[in-house]
Chains A and B, each alone.
Chain A
Amino acid sequence: MSNVFLSLKDIRKSFGGVHALNGVDLEIRRGEIHCLAGENGSGKSTLIKIISGIYKPDKGQILIEGDPVQSLTPKSSIDAGIQVIYQDFAIFPNLSVAENISINHSVLTGAKRMNWTEARSLAAEAMSRIGADLDPEVLVENLSVANKQMVAICRAIINDAKLLILDEPTASLTAKEVDALNEIIKNLRNKNMAIMIVNHKIDEIFNIAEQITVLRNGEKISSGPASGYTRRSFIRDLTGREITETTYEPEKSDEEIFRVEKLTRHGEFSDISFEIRKGDVLGITGLLGSGRGAVGDALFGVAPATEGKIFLNGEEIEIRSIDDAIKYKIGYVPEDRLTQGLFLNRSIQENTTAASLKKYFIRGKVDEKIMLNDTIEWIRTIGCNAKDAEAPIRTLSGGNAQKMVIAKWLNTSPRILILNGPTVGVDIGAKADIHRFLHGLAKDGVGIIIISDDLAELIQNCNRIIVMHDGKAVRTVDTKDVDETSLSKMLSD
């Protein structure tokens, strides 16, 4: 057990009477990749902040390399070799790659002068260690998310890091970038570094983790080698309930709801054709920039198609604007719910009824009472965990807020519902609720289109998947004929 780098014993922390962590043990070894998994609110971030010295635990013991540590401050944590890469990377968009990588070092050594030569050589050394190849002079604001992450990793490892903690490192990476990141992580692991990854995407965890610890409601539910977990046991530990992962198989039907022929928007996508029959859930996937999102935008009139035909229940319709789309009862759950899907500071009620206000305009005034009743009804139906319909919607967690975005469109009684990345940032429990709900809708004859790069989600929920590449539909597959690996291959080919 000599290679245990960090061990936490019976860590407790509460905020104003709420137990964020309730007696958590954790052991992290050198040369091992440890995944800390947990849903939103499970205490993951509190635990990281304790390890990085930002929070002081109320109770418990911290040992670094076997020695008990009395009090950990941000500085002493870094001195001990602990480096955290946060989700937003904490890098400087206005500074060059070289300066971003070296700045930590310069600050910690207490240098008074800025040594540009040293900065460049430190950056070059760090980049060669992880196999990154970026122009050291370029400003970080010009970099992609994946490359910004490289910069953050480079910065972390130049300070003799012994434990590298990555907080949801794959949140905004494409599948290819995730693979590249995993290579880097394994490489660092081989150099005897301890790695802790915080994540809640099952497939990624199973891909890389050697050791897994699951937290739920501030408690450690289980911990052990990754080989000791099955997907099923992992999900049970994570959510505290049995969620079965099944694929979706609708009853066969000949009733066509929606058809699109040779839909084209110049410069974005071309010749997209598909049909949706009753019960169908259609998936559209592709890498970032493949045009998958643009198809959704076109069908909802955000950026209308320039050519092609759209049929709703066999009748040709034209969608030139969002108004048209709403007129034909098409609903759209956009990719970024925070900026496009919600009025964050307005109440749940106002958000839920925002797309169907006309309904409540009775005899010259808005009937708030029916609005409230409908909202409460939706909160119940869709399984949103909200105490009060009048609370601002920003008080809801990601999963609950997303449920209300969907409820907003359901309140318009849509015939077609298009969802772009419906469960991004939503935890597994809420995700399963949303999926179940969508299947119910499909059964009732609502045409559902899910646009996503979460392949596992598509395979579980759609019966047909269109794979897009460079604005074209390169493949259309029946879900039962593919698995995640083969689908992922189609994406990048």
Chain B
Amino acid sequence: MNAKIKQKLLSNEAIVVYIILLLALIIGAVNPTFISPATGINLLRTMLVTLIFALSEMIVIVSGGIDVSFPAVSCLTMIATIKFLLATGIDSVPITYGIGILIGATFGALNAFLITIIKIPPLIATLGVSSLTSGATLAFLGTKIYTDLPEKIDTMHRISIFSYTNPAGNEYSMTALILIPAILCVLIHLMLRHTMIGRGMYAIGGDIQAAHVVGFNVAKTRFFTYILSGILAGTGAITYMILMRVADPKVLMGEEMMVIAAVVIGGTRITGGHGTVIGTILGVALLALVKNNLIILGVPTHFQTFVVGMIIVFGTSITSIRAKRIAEQAKI
């Protein structure tokens, strides 16, 4: 039993927790006001959308694939949805999400088709879809940035579940939108851990040939994975639009690196077959913490990309070194 506890304390998730605690201590030492509910609220707000995207990316990586198309798909989703809403005069949050999910699922199916049926390697397929989608957005839907969201959608972000007023009188409120990634985390966790389709994702990510032999319907599992990933990306896009009160055709481009980094730092192996929701939450939290607090630590703005890059390289190294050590260690 002792060995098991030791294993838990040295697990990937645990290491990320240590790093988060260490960072929090350092930031807290430099700036004592850091230790406050306001920090938590800010952190959750930063994590909110990234976490949805990270879930979408994580399930794809677990199943042995990769998806770099979600930022482009999300941008298209935002613009297409807002244009539709403005043209029809519909002002309903559920319908908005419905459209986003539909568009996301469609592009997920396109990715799955290219990867599973045409057999293009996932990176190339999704890179192609990314370029295609991004180009289509700009060419057919225009380059306009929309800030004139319909009334109900525009005010949705103001619904808060709790708020905190600090001694200086500033009010921090936690938007109810946080419930979306929270619920998704629970659902994805249950799916991955307790359904056969979820176990199928791990199986094909571990050894696709073996999955065939065992009798998994590999094509079906991969279609399901990419479509679900697309649905999550669409959900992320609409959530971003509501939270930021803007629909921008380019704003999310480039986000994939950050999201993949967060997923991998959270212990998901880029080669597939390993990854958990808890780890993903921690990976996103770590990157959000760094992003939010570099200024407090006195890191100049133009150094921030550099520092984030260092953390990505360092964080992903831990995962890779661990995988290598497992491969080399004595077998039982």
A and B physically associate: yes
Given A91-B210, A95-B202, A114-B198: A142 and B331 interface contact (C-beta under 8 Å): yes
> Would B274 and A94 count as touching, CB distance under 8 A?
yes
From B196, B202, B326, B331, give the contact of A106 (CB < 8 A). Answer: B196
C-alpha spacing A113/B198, complex, angstroms: 9
> Which of chain B's residues have a CB closer than 8 A to the CB of A138?
332
Q: A residues bordering B, Cβ < 8 Å?
A: 74-75, 78, 86, 88-95, 99, 103-104, 106-108, 111-114, 116, 138, 141-145, 147
> Would A143 and B194 count as touching, CB distance under 8 A?
no
Cβ contacts A to B, 29 pairs, < 8 Å = A74-B215, A88-B209, A88-B210, A89-B210, A90-B207, A91-B207, A91-B210, A92-B202, A92-B206, A92-B207, A94-B206, A94-B272, A94-B274, A95-B273, A99-B199, A103-B214, A104-B215, A112-B195, A112-B196, A113-B194, A114-B196, A114-B198, A141-B326, A141-B327, A142-B329, A142-B332, A143-B332, A144-B331, A147-B332
> Would A92 and B210 count as touching, CB distance under 8 A?
yes
Given A103-B214, A104-B214: A92 and B203 interface contact (C-beta under 8 Å): yes
> Which of chain B's residues have a CB closer than 8 A to the CB of A95?
199, 202-203, 206, 273
Does B193 make an interface contact (CB < 8 A)? yes
> Which A-chain residue is minimally distant from B215 (CB atoms)?
A107
> Which of chain A's residues have a CB closer than 8 A to the CB of B211?
92
Task: Tell me, rounded to whole Å, the shortest Cβ–Cβ distance linking B58 to chain A.
Answer: 14
C-alpha spacing A145/B196, complex, angstroms: 27
> Would B332 and A92 count as touching, CB distance under 8 A?
no
From A90, A103, A113, give the contact of B209 (CB < 8 A). Answer: A90
> Would B203 and A103 count as touching, CB distance under 8 A?
yes
Given A95-B202, A113-B196, A114-B196: A90 and B210 interface contact (C-beta under 8 Å): yes
Of all A-B residue pairs in the complex, the 7 with the closest CB atoms, nearest first, are A94-B273, A94-B206, A144-B331, A92-B206, A90-B210, A90-B213, A107-B215
Most buried by A among B202, B269, B331: B331
Given A90-B209, A103-B199, A114-B199: A78 and B215 interface contact (C-beta under 8 Å): yes
Task: Tell me, rounded to whole Å, the shortest Cβ–Cβ distance linking B310 to chain A.
Answer: 29
C-alpha spacing A152/B198, complex, angstroms: 22
Task: Tell me, rounded to whole Å, the shortest Cβ–Cβ distance linking B7 to chain A.
Answer: 10
> Would B193 and A114 count as touching, CB distance under 8 A?
yes
Does B205 make an interface contact (CB < 8 A)? yes
Task: Tell me, rounded to whole Å, the shortest Cβ–Cβ distance linking B270 to chain A.
Answer: 13
> Which of chain A's residues have a CB closer than 8 A to the CB of B193?
114
> Which of chain A's residues have a CB closer than 8 A to the CB of B194?
113-114, 116
Residues 180-213 of B, flagged 1 when their CB comes within 8 A of A and 0 if not, give: 0000000000000111111100110111011101
Task: Tell me, rounded to whole Å, the shortest Cβ–Cβ distance linking A105 to chain B.
Answer: 10
- For the complex with contacts A90-B213, A114-B195, 19 further pairs of A-B residues with Cβ separation under 8 Å are A78-B215, A88-B210, A90-B207, A92-B202, A92-B273, A93-B206, A94-B202, A95-B203, A95-B206, A99-B199, A103-B199, A106-B199, A107-B216, A111-B196, A112-B195, A116-B194, A141-B327, A142-B329, A142-B331
> Which B-chain residue is minimally distant from A109 (CB atoms)?
B196
C-alpha spacing A116/B327, complex, angstroms: 26
> Which of chain A's residues have a CB closer than 8 A to the CB of B207?
90-93
> Which of chain B's residues have a CB closer than 8 A to the CB of A114?
193-196, 198-199
> Which of chain B's residues have a CB closer than 8 A to the CB of A116?
194
> Which A-chain residue is minimally distant from B326 (CB atoms)?
A141
Residues of chain B from 301 to 331 with CB closer than 8 A to chain A in the complex: 326-327, 329, 331
Task: Tell me, rounded to whole Å, the shortest Cβ–Cβ distance linking A434 to chain B.
Answer: 31
> Which of chain A's residues have a CB closer than 8 A to the CB of B332?
138, 142-144, 147
Given A104-B214, A107-B196, A142-B326: A147 and B331 interface contact (C-beta under 8 Å): yes
> Which B-chain residue is minimally distant from A103 (CB atoms)?
B214
C-alpha spacing A106/B202, complex, angstroms: 14
> Which A-chain residue is minimally distant from B193 (CB atoms)?
A114
C-alpha spacing A138/B331, complex, angstroms: 11
> Would A108 and B215 count as touching, CB distance under 8 A?
yes
> Which B-chain residue is minimally distant from A134 (CB atoms)?
B332
C-alpha spacing A74/B214, complex, angstroms: 10
Task: Tell me, rounded to whole Å, the shortest Cβ–Cβ distance linking B224 to chain A.
Answer: 13
Given A74-B215, A107-B196, A114-B199: A94 and B205 interface contact (C-beta under 8 Å): yes
> Which of chain B's residues have a CB closer than 8 A to the CB of A141?
326-327
Most buried by A among B203, B269, B326: B203
> Which of chain A's residues have a CB closer than 8 A to the CB of B197?
112
> Which of chain A's residues have a CB closer than 8 A to the CB of B331?
142-145, 147
> Which of chain A's residues have a CB closer than 8 A to the CB of B273?
92-95
C-alpha spacing A112/B191, complex, angstroms: 10
> Which A-chain residue is minimally distant from B216 (CB atoms)?
A107
C-alpha spacing A91/B210, complex, angstroms: 6
> Which A-chain residue is minimally distant from B205 (CB atoms)?
A94
> Which B-chain residue is minimally distant from A86 (CB atoms)?
B213
